[in-house]
């Protein structure tokens, strides 16, 4: 590390420069959040010049500290630091803040802007991402040694982050895991959009985090004290037995003479007059926008180079240490078991255990580990005493599980797998959506995939969830028909560059002679095809075997379509579907809402109401997912 020398006047000029940029960029865009970035400028200065281990010219250096701005609305703060320290963002990029195709979007986006670790938007998600990244770092350090992996995860959150329920779940998990590499700075500015936090928030954050098992440091009114900030951050780094939260009382919009501590400063409040007055007070040229003195730029560029030599000498490569996987034995098992019945959640669990033998993977469920096929046999539980265990018990925390998985994946080198009942994917939806935006390689094991769940009733019986997940761009959704298609689903998920949702049955399904591990990977294929047949049944999951049962004595074609996304990309059947379906009557069969099936089918057999409490096969039958109803629809088309 190369030390940089600064004086207090230069540091203050740097902080004021950050504040100037924090006003100017949103003003140029007529959109954005200025006040939080202004208040946190001293903290950002200390982090990027005194504390963080990073190399601006090597943003992907694997052993860098991870910095997450969970309060992503203050993105201009991060963009200002990325420009000043030399990550490649230019002043022109700052001037294009929030503009089409710019490198400075409204909230930080991983993969879009160098130096951004995760995509933060919905409040609380970044906080939970940080927990996932801390789990990853500790896991890799335990497995590959501190000489290769040894860094911290820093996250800045605000009142909004800690108000969201996801933060409670994630903080509780982090405390139980004793993540000593996790440092959170809580920007306690007492301001929300509606007004003072006292309107709706009476929490004692210090007591709350103490109860979670965190180390709590309350710095009070130290937001402008650079040495106090540095000392607290370094002390937090030295605490390796528990996560640390530093509570920092700041004043939004500081040092504005008119807007400090004003709720309006949370958004776009600083216009010409307010910017002029604040810059004049700070000693900046009030009429000059995007002002960066050369000596300030030199100071920050030197900070961005402090660890450059260490980064360039680093030789450990994450891609070389993820391990490998082989599903040939599981594939052979099911190809030899035609006629037997296996729930796809069970088949998936067998695949997962085979994969976990050699692949860097962390798997678990939201208190449903055994139920969702995410239980590992013969692997250690991930815990403070076994930090490289592969079995992570998330507890009843679907909200946090989704976002923690994103953090694990985006840290790099580990594939996270998380399970819950399909109906509870709704709890995880914001994190699933962010995984898709981020192209995070996470795998969801969503089980109990239909009203076949049975006696638990409509609250636990998914109806709209499958189609809802299909509506998320860049999310791969796979609903296998049997154990063989489940093997195909896992092969596809592991090869996919992004998130995958496996939709799996609770009930046993017959292993069909006609299904194919290879063909299923294309997303759709015919299990029965007769050019003279006028009707084609198209189905997913448990309904495929139902269609095949009907087709035994009926002149119909049967098309399995385990994944719409794969089919539209790879399947020759779907790619020529308009031509094919012009000469056939197509009927879709899926135990869920019929909305959306019109893209493929002329008629749909589905469930457009909530379920009922009864044995699963009875509910299926009562709601028309049966051979009798298929026959009725086919014959109706023939009239």
Helix (H) or strand (E) holding 570: helix 564-570
User: What does the H/E/C string look like for 112-128?
Assistant: CCCCCCCCCCCCCHHHH
Note whether 503 and 527 are same-domain residues. no
Reference 49, options 246, 252, 283, 229; nearest CA is 229
Whose structure tokens read 């709209």?
464
| Domain-located, residue 50 | yes
* Contacts of 504 by beta carbon, 8 Å cutoff, 6+ apart: 343, 344, 345, 348, 372, 373, 445, 446, 447, 449, 479, 480, 486
> Dihedral angle at the C-alpha atoms of 599, 605, 606, 608, nearest 10 degrees?
90
Please give the pLDDT value at position 494. 98
Q: Whole-angstrom Cα distance, residue 134 to residue 128?
A: 10
Of the residues 510, 543, 558, the one at which a domain ends: 510
Q: CATH number of the domain that 426 lies in? A: 3.40.50.970
Note whether 171 and 284 are same-domain residues. yes
Give, in order, the Cα–Cα distances in Å from 474 to each of 114, 403, 519, 635.
22, 17, 22, 38
Note whether 548 and 624 are same-domain residues. yes
Strands 215-220 and 244-249: parallel
- Contact indicator for 52, 302 with CB cutoff of 8 Å: no
Of the residues 484, 510, 536, the one at which a domain ends: 510
Note whether 72 and 36 are same-domain residues. yes
| Domain-located, residue 224 | yes
Q: pLDDT band for position 4 (50/70/90)?
A: low
Please give the pLDDT value at position 71. 97
Reference 330, options 484, 219, 495; nearest CA is 484
**Counted domains in the chain:** 3
| Domain-located, residue 463 | yes
The answer, yes or no, to whether residue 639 has pLDDT greater than 50, is no
Q: Whole-angstrom Cα distance, residue 182 to residue 70?
A: 14
| Domain-located, residue 317 | no
Q: CATH number of the domain that 533 lies in? A: 3.40.50.920
List, by residue number, the catalytic residues: 398
Note whether 450 and 480 are same-domain residues. yes
| Domain-located, residue 374 | yes
| DSSP string for residues in 272-303 | HHHHHHHHHHHTS-TT-SS---HHHHHHHHHH
| Domain-located, residue 77 | yes
Note whether 554 and 590 are same-domain residues. yes
Note whether 506 and 524 are same-domain residues. no
User: What does the H/E/C string look like for 206-255?
Assistant: HHHHHHHCCEEEEEECCCCCHHHHHHHHHHHHHCCCCCEEEEEECCCCCC
Reference 158, options 35, 259, 271; nearest CA is 35
For the chain, the helix, strand and coil percentages under 3-state DSSP, each to the nearest 5? 45, 15, 40
Please give the pLDDT value at position 5. 55
Give, in order, the Cα–Cα distances in Å from 331 to each of 179, 201, 490, 511, 548.
38, 54, 11, 12, 22
User: What is the crossing angle of helices 627-638 and 542-551, to 10°?
Assistant: 60
Whose structure tokens read 């592991």?
494
The token pair at 236 is 């937090």
User: Which pTM was predicted?
Assistant: 0.97
Note whether 280 and 378 are same-domain residues. no
- Contact indicator for 3, 301 with CB cutoff of 8 Å: no
Note whether 204 and 251 are same-domain residues. yes
What's the domain range around 152?
8-312
Please give the pLDDT value at position 636. 84
Give, in order, the Cα–Cα distances in Å from 394 to each of 420, 431, 627.
10, 15, 40
Please give the pLDDT value at position 180. 98
| Domain-located, residue 322 | no
Note whether 306 and 341 are same-domain residues. no
Please give the pLDDT value at position 567. 98
The token pair at 7 is 């004086």
| Domain-located, residue 593 | yes
Note whether 498 and 357 are same-domain residues. yes
Q: What is the pLDDT of residues 96-136, one digit of tens each?
A: 999 999 999 999 999 999 999 999 989 999 999 999 999 99
Q: Exposed e or buried b for every residue in 449-481, given b needs 16+ CB within 10 A? A: bbbbbbeeebebbbbebbbbbbebeebbbbbbb
Of the residues 267, 283, 312, the one at which a domain ends: 312
Q: Whole-angstrom Cα distance, residue 576 to residue 170?
A: 46
Read off the pLDDT of each residue in 569-581 and give the average, rounded to a whole number. Answer: 94
Note whether 289 and 408 are same-domain residues. no
Q: What is the pLDDT of residues 225-256, one digit of tens each?
A: 999 999 999 999 999 999 999 999 999 999 99
Read off the pLDDT of each residue in 331-352 and give the average, rounded to a whole number. Answer: 97
């Amino acid at each position: 590390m190369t030390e940089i020398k600064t004086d207090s006047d230069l540091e203050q000029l740097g902080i004021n420069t950050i504040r100037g940029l924090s006003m100017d960029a949103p003003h140029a865009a007529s959109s954005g959040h200025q006040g939080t970035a202004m208040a946190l400028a001293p903290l950002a200065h200390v982090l990027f010049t005194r504390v963080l281990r990073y190399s601006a010219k090597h943003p992907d250096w694997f052993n860098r500290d991870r910095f997450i701005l969970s309060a992503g609305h203050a993105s201009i703060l991060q963009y200002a630091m990325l420009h000043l320290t030399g990550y490649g963002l230019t002043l022109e990029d700052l001037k294009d803040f929030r503009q089409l195709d710019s490198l400075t979007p409204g909230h930080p986006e991983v993969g879009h802007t160098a130096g951004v670790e995760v995509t933060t938007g919905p409040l609380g998600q970044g906080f939970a991402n940080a927990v996932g990244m801390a789990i990853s770092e500790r896991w890799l350090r335990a497995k590959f040694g501190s000489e290769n992996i040894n860094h911290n995860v820093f996250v800045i959150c605000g009142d909004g982050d800690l108000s969201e329920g996801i933060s409670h779940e994630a903080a509780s998990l982090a405390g139980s895991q004793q993540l000593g590499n996790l440092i959170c700075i809580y920007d306690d500015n007492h301001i929300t959009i509606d007004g003072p936090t006292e309107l709706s928030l009476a929490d004692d954050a210090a007591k709350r985090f103490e109860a979670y098992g965190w180390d709590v440091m309350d710095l009070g009114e130290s937001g402008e004290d650079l040495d106090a900030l540095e000392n607290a951050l370094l002390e937090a780094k030295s605490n390796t037995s528990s996560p640390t939260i530093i509570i920092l009382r700041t004043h939004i919009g500081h040092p504005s003479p008119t807007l400090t501590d004003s709720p309006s400063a949370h958004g776009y409040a600083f216009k010409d007059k307010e910017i002029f007055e604040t810059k004049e007070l700070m000693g900046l040229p009030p009429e000059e926008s995007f002002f960066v003195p050369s000596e300030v730029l030199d100071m920050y560029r030197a900070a961005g180079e402090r660890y450059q030599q260490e980064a360039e000498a680093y030789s450990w490569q994450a891609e070389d240490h993820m391990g490998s996987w082989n599903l040939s034995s599981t594939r052979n098992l099911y190809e030899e078991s035609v006629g037997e019945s296996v729930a796809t959640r069970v088949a998936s669990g067998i695949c997962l255990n085979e994969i976990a033998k050699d692949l860097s993977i962390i798997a678990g469920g939201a208190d449903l580990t055994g139920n969702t096929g995410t239980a590992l046999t013969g692997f250690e539980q991930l815990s403070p005493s076994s930090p490289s265990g592969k079995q992570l018990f998330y507890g009843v925390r679907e909200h946090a599980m989704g976002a923690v998985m994103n953090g694990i994946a985006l840290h790099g080198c580990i594939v996270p797998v998380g399970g819950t009942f399909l109906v509870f994917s709704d709890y995880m939806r914001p994190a699933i959506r962010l995984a898709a935006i981020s192209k995070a390689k996470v795998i969801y094991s969503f089980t109990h995939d239909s009203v076949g769940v049975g006696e638990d009733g409509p609250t636990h019986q998914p109806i709209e969830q499958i189609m809802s997940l299909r509506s998320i761009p860049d999310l791969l959704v796979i609903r296998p028909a049997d154990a063989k298609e489940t093997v195909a689903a896992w092969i596809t998920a592991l090869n996919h560059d992004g998130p995958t949702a496996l939709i799996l049955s609770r009930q046993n399904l017959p292993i069909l002679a006609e299904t194919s591990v290879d063909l299923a990977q294309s997303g759709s294929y015919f299990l029965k095809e007769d050019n003279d047949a006028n009707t084609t049944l198209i189905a997913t999951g448990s309904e495929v075997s139902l269609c095949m049962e009907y087709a035994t004595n009926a002149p119909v074609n049967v098309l399995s379509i385990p994944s719409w996304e794969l089919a539209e990309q790879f399947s020759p059947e779907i790619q020529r579907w308009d031509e094919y379906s012009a000469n056939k009557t197509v009927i879709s069969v899926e135990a869920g809402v019929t909305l959306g099936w019109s893209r493929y089918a002329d008629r749909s057999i589905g469930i457009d109401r909530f379920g009922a409490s009864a044995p699963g096969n009875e509910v299926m039958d009562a709601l028309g997912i049966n051979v009798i109803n298929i026959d009725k629809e086919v014959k109706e088309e023939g009239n």
